[in-house]
Structure 1
Amino acid sequence: MCGIYGSTIYYDDHIVRAKLHKVQFRGPDYSGFERINNVILGHNRLAIVDLDHRSNQPFTYHHLKIVFNGEIYNYQAIKAELKTFGYLFSTSSDTEVLAAAYLQFGENCVDHFNGMFAFVIYDTQAQTIFGARDRLGKKPFYYAQNGTDFEFASQPSQIIIARNVSIDQQAVNEYMIWGYVPEPRSAWQQIKKLQAGHKFTFSTTTGIFKTEKYWDLNFSETGRYIGNYSTAVSELKTLLNDSVKIRMQADVGVGVFLSGGIDSSLIAALASAQTDQVKTFCIKFKEKEFDESVFAEKIARHLKTNHHTIECNPDEGISLIENFGDFFDEPFADSSAIPTLLLSKYTKRHVTVALSGDGGDESFSGYTRYKWLGHANPLFKLPNSARKMLAEIIKLSPNYRHKLIAMGISQVDIKALYAYMFGGLEFSWLGKPDLGLNVPYMEIWSSPTLSLQQKMSAFDIKTYLNGDINTKVDRASMAFSLEARAPLMDYRVVDFANTLPDHFKFGGGIQKRILKDILYQYVPANLYNRPKSGFAIPFRHWFKNELKDYVLDQLSYHELLEIPGIDARKTSIIIKEHMAGTWNRFPQIWKLLVFKQWLKNQQTHSIPGYHLA
């Protein structure tokens, strides 16, 4: 896990160093750059595999130069295959294998990789640049391109140093709905994200830049699973065991994030079955409704792991809030990023790699909203006028949850309902809300062959998992030089899950049915007889109590007037509603706090002699 950077634009050495230093936390073990022809390649290294300096980057292999962020988990198998073609290797790193695979397989090398990655290879003979991002978007890749000017980085704060950039207002509008900026946009007009599962080529001589999708979800009828349920359980268990095994390969210490939920418990159980030296880590809140540490501790005792519990309190929460923008760069409003930052901070004191349970909810129908949408879907077979009449009756209730239900069934269709659930369904506080459903992957909802469950799963994998979960975990773990690996996001597991009948994943009212049946082979089922709470932080309570003065100071009416794109008067009202306890508005408040800090931080990215537009 590292940070990569490159440019065909000429910058003085001190500017290049500033761009690398900006995200040195991503790779504190070595930082360096090279100039090759008119190309600059830079790298911050977090050493995980082959700790020797010989594997530092930029790495040279024949006439190729490479910078690489991530891990190729099956690199040993690829290396063995390449040796049969006569390739020789001077290191034990996956970086060298990646470069050799490009020489052998060309752009199709990405089809051979099982891993999380964002890399760039510069062919010094052809003067072309080739790069790719992993299938599910675990690793970030930002770029700016205009003619032969091409610049890329792991984080956008590197690119905007010494450049004139401007805020993308459409991206801001999308952030206010989704809580993050969906790909391929970034928060700046000049910078884009390479989409997950895509590769690109760039000619340094002609300036021609092309992207191509190399992987996608497959729900084809010809690929449907034809075995019975017990066979599927056995096959998935084998896949998961291998996925965990290859992610435990490292020349540094490896641990597991253990929240006490189904997914993280399953990963911890499979890891413990392979070694008796597993270290597990969880977060503790004093607010009982958010605290799952007691369950995590019970599971850790059952699995006999070396367990560590980390306590999160409002004071430390404020500290992380105030430094939030230093790591996340773009506005990002998933409040669980705060406990993830804290968890990463303390986990790093013990290990350098941590396995997580991310990806289970999306592939195996685990989110509570999947159940809600299943209940709501029949209503959308009624005429819109009938639903609006029903909504008028429901919203007479003083309970804000009933009002949200009324807003939900008033949406034009199930697609709009699902999309706007992420924004809280109510947008009166936005000055000129652009609520067009024009973000990528919306076409999934129009597929005539997919079930509602398949549509929700596919859409979440392409959007929420990619834009929210992966961003959160990458930035939070990298903030403390910790590598996070997600066995449930192995593309083989995702592909297999997509072949399964819906009722294997959500059947008989049981969500994540098949994962649970594997987990219960290791941990007693009665340890999970409780509601799903997720990895949330008690902002709803804190904003009305411990953090009330902070919120009212940061989001006073005067301060709200400085935030573009919102109605300050209506926004002030929703903040008062939260403080009075009549409506839970913490998601909107958190979005505003994050965005306000992000605006302020934009003036800190410049270096002497340069400014932002």
Structure 2
Amino acid sequence: MCGIFGTINYEIPVDQQKIFQGLWHRGPDEQDRQSIDNLHLYHTRLAIQDLSPMGKQPMEYNGLMIAFNGEIYNHLELREKYGLESASNSDTRTILMMYELMGMKMLEEFDGMFAFALYDLKNRMLYLARDRAGKKPLFIYRKGNTWMFSSELNILSQIAQPEIDYAALSDYLYLGYHYRKSTPYLHVSELENGHYLKLDPQNMKEQEVTWFNMEEGYRQESKLNHEDSIAQLDHLLQFAVHRRMDSSDLDVGSFLSGGIDSGLVTAIAAKHASRLNTFTVRLPGSYDESGLAAKVAKRYGTNHTVVDIDFSSLQDDIETILSGHGEPNCDNSAIPSYYVAKAAKQHTTVVLNGDGADELFGGYRRYVPFRHLDFFQPNNLTKISAKILAGILPIANEKQSYYTYLYRLLKFASYTDVVKIYCSASSDLFVGFEDQFLRRPLMKDISADLLAINKLPLSALNKILLMDFQSMLFSRLLPKMDIATMAHSLEGRSPFLSKELLEFAPGLPDHFKIHNVTTKSILRDLAVNYLPEELINQPKRGFEIPLRKWVDEELKTVINDYLLAKDTLYSRIIKKSFIEDLIAKKIRVSDERRAKMLFCVFGLEVWYKKLIQKGNAL
């Protein structure tokens, strides 16, 4: 796992130590740079495979040069398949040999997570590419003939000094995260998952290619029956876990919650390791899953660590945690993710997780209604009735209650706009308060994408699963885990996002994913072979963060200092009086939603004060 940075036609002298320092946490083992023509490549290395100097980057081979971030888990299989030989066992070298053999068609062969810049010196062509799910980040700055690209926005913004994009920030507040290409800067975009850019650095002509499209998987209906589907799922998950353990020259650990996703990964991994390190988080004031996790750890004899997070240093750490994302962030689960990654790094450098299982197999409770009703095509009676009921019922305040579930169901059933339906189902921050924005959310990209998905000949369940994969997983959840782990030079690997499972899961019948009201039905059926019965039937919980308490107690002072300051950024986007009324509890919303809204604006202000104003002052 590494960090990459590059410039094209950038005439101003660059402080390479500043770049290395900015990416050091992604690659503390080695730092180097190479220049050719008008291209400059920088690389910081976290050595996981081929710990010898032969794995050094940027790597040159037969007229090719690459700066690579990630892992290709099946690269040795590919060498055997295509008869490729090298003294180095580095997956970076395998990429260059595969490119020499078949060009960018090689991407379809890779099972891995990656972002890379590959320069073909013979043809004077640069390729920037990302993996299927988008686990490894890559941001690109384009202005005139000048380009920069980086694994992180923080160092990119420090070097390029781009201007703020207020329209993008308005969309961020409304949605709760930056959607796909969007960043908070003008002239800066994120390369999307399953895409690569082909660029001629001489004339700056570019071509963007979609080499993987998740939509195609949902068009392929599996013909396997239930029993054979479970057997195939078992085989593919074992295959994915084993690959992610074998392709490491260091010991591999596993995050272990009380849920079935990480439980399955851990159970399979433990059979493949002499003594697997596992890690469970225990949070004060939330449901304690450590007991369930301990049963899995005991069954498989893992070296188990319970990470008790008391958040005693939260006031001191919160600005560091949020500003590490390089853009406004309001996912409060980034906080425990940061702490558990910090604890895990004390024991291991590589850790497995269950990321992607919920979006592939239907793990969220909000998916259940879409299994039975098409809320994207509601009739008028449904919309009118839901709107009336939602308007007269008391506001739901209990996060996990059935009443809250019903209340939110009525809210998104009352909307006619596909974007509002989706946003209300997944992130209902400012939906319904559009009139409070001074700069109205445009949501052009997400509107176009959601409307296109809604027109596909898919079930409502598969539509929202595809929407979540393309938006929430890519733009919010994977970046959260990448930032949390790489902040501590820890590599996170996700077996559920393997090449084979991404091809297999979408085509499963809806009732294999949601059976009546049971989420992740097929995973639960598989878990019978691996996990304690009481764990299998547990509902999806995730990190149950006491956000309401934080906003009104532990973080109240720091949040109010930011939001009630005179020079706020948010007041250029949304009415300050509205936020003041929100703080004073004068707005009719649930306590949980109020806390999320305030935390979202707080994330914007931390980004602005810590990164923008501070950067301008340097």
Q: Which residue of 2 aligns with 1:262?
A: 260
Q: Which residue of 2 aligns with 1:427?
A: 433
Q: Which residue of 1 aligns with 2:175?
A: 178
Is the CA contact 2:167–2:442 (under 8 Å) kept in the aligned structure 1?
no
Describe the superposition over 1:293-317 as per-residue Cα deviations: whole angstroms up to 9, x where unpaired: 2322232222221111112123232
Aligned equivalents of 1:369 and 1:550: distance in 2? 33
Displacement of 1:381 in angstroms is: 3.2
Q: Which residue of 2 aligns with 1:43?
A: 43
Aligned equivalents of 1:605 and 1:124: distance in 2? 39
Residue identity matched to 1:459: M
2:524 maps to 1:520? no
Displacement of 1:462 in angstroms is: 0.9
Displacement of 1:510 in angstroms is: 1.9
Superposition TM-score, scaled by structure 2 size: 0.92
DSSP-derived class of the 1:323 partner: helix
Q: How does 1:135-214 map to 2 (within 5 A)?
A: 135-214=132-211
Describe the superposition over 1:300-352 as per-residue Cα deviations: whole angstroms up to 9, x where unpaired: 22222111111212323223311024421011211111111111111011000
Cα pair distance change 1:581/1:221, threshold 3 Å? closer
Residue identity matched to 1:532: K
DSSP-derived class of the 2:140 partner: strand
Aligned equivalents of 2:129 and 2:586: distance in 1? 44
Residue identity matched to 1:387: K
Residue identity matched to 2:40: I
Q: Which residue of 2 aligns with 1:597?
A: 606
Aligned equivalents of 2:128 and 2:444: distance in 1? 30
Q: Which residue of 2 aligns with 1:588?
A: 597
Aligned equivalents of 1:379 and 1:326: distance in 2? 36
Counting matched residue pairs gives 604
Describe the superposition over 1:214-234 as per-residue Cα deviations: whole angstroms up to 9, x where unpaired: 011255787321121101100
Cα pair distance change 1:598/1:231, threshold 3 Å? same
Aligned equivalents of 1:94 and 1:200: distance in 2? 21
Which deviates more from structure 2 when the two are superposed, residues 446-455 or residues 426-435?
426-435
2:468 maps to 1:460? yes
Displacement of 1:372 in angstroms is: 4.0
Q: Which residue of 2 aligns with 1:24?
A: 24
Q: How does 1:257-406 map to 2 (within 5 A)?
A: 257-289=255-287, 291-374=288-371, 377=374, 381-383=378-380, 387-388=383-384, 390-400=386-396, 401=404
Displacement of 1:39 in angstroms is: 1.3
Name the % identity.
Answer: 30
Unaligned stretches of 5+ residues in structure 1:
none
Residue identity matched to 1:32: D
Is the CA contact 2:286–2:546 (under 8 Å) kept in the aligned structure 1?
no
Is the CA contact 2:215–2:466 (under 8 Å) kept in the aligned structure 1?
no
Cα pair distance change 1:568/1:218, threshold 3 Å? closer
Superposition TM-score, scaled by structure 1 size: 0.92
Displacement of 1:364 in angstroms is: 0.3
Q: Which residue of 1 aligns with 2:9?
A: 9
Displacement of 1:264 in angstroms is: 0.7
DSSP-derived class of the 1:160 partner: helix
2:553 maps to 1:538? no
Cα pair distance change 1:562/1:531, threshold 3 Å? closer
Is the CA contact 1:285–1:313 (under 8 Å) kept in the aligned structure 2?
yes
DSSP-derived class of the 1:329 partner: coil
2:106 maps to 1:109? yes
DSSP-derived class of the 1:484 partner: strand
Residue identity matched to 1:49: Q
Cα pair distance change 1:63/1:445, threshold 3 Å? closer
Displacement of 1:557 in angstroms is: 6.4
Cα pair distance change 1:521/1:88, threshold 3 Å? closer
2:449 maps to 1:441? yes
2:572 maps to 1:564? yes
Displacement of 1:605 in angstroms is: 6.9
Match of 2:518 among 500, 510, 527: 510
Cα pair distance change 1:408/1:100, threshold 3 Å? same
2:419 maps to 1:412? no
Residue identity matched to 1:412: T
Aligned equivalents of 2:566 and 2:143: distance in 1? 39
Is the CA contact 2:126–2:198 (under 8 Å) kept in the aligned structure 1?
yes
Cα pair distance change 1:261/1:393, threshold 3 Å? closer
Q: Which residue of 2 aligns with 1:75?
A: 75
Cα pair distance change 1:403/1:74, threshold 3 Å? closer
Is the CA contact 2:551–2:599 (under 8 Å) kept in the aligned structure 1?
no
Aligned equivalents of 1:572 and 1:53: distance in 2? 57
DSSP-derived class of the 1:140 partner: coil
Aligned equivalents of 2:443 and 2:37: distance in 1? 45
Is the CA contact 2:127–2:197 (under 8 Å) kept in the aligned structure 1?
yes
DSSP-derived class of the 1:129 partner: strand
DSSP-derived class of the 2:78 partner: helix
Aligned equivalents of 2:586 and 2:10: distance in 1? 51
Q: Which residue of 2 aligns with 1:487?
A: 495
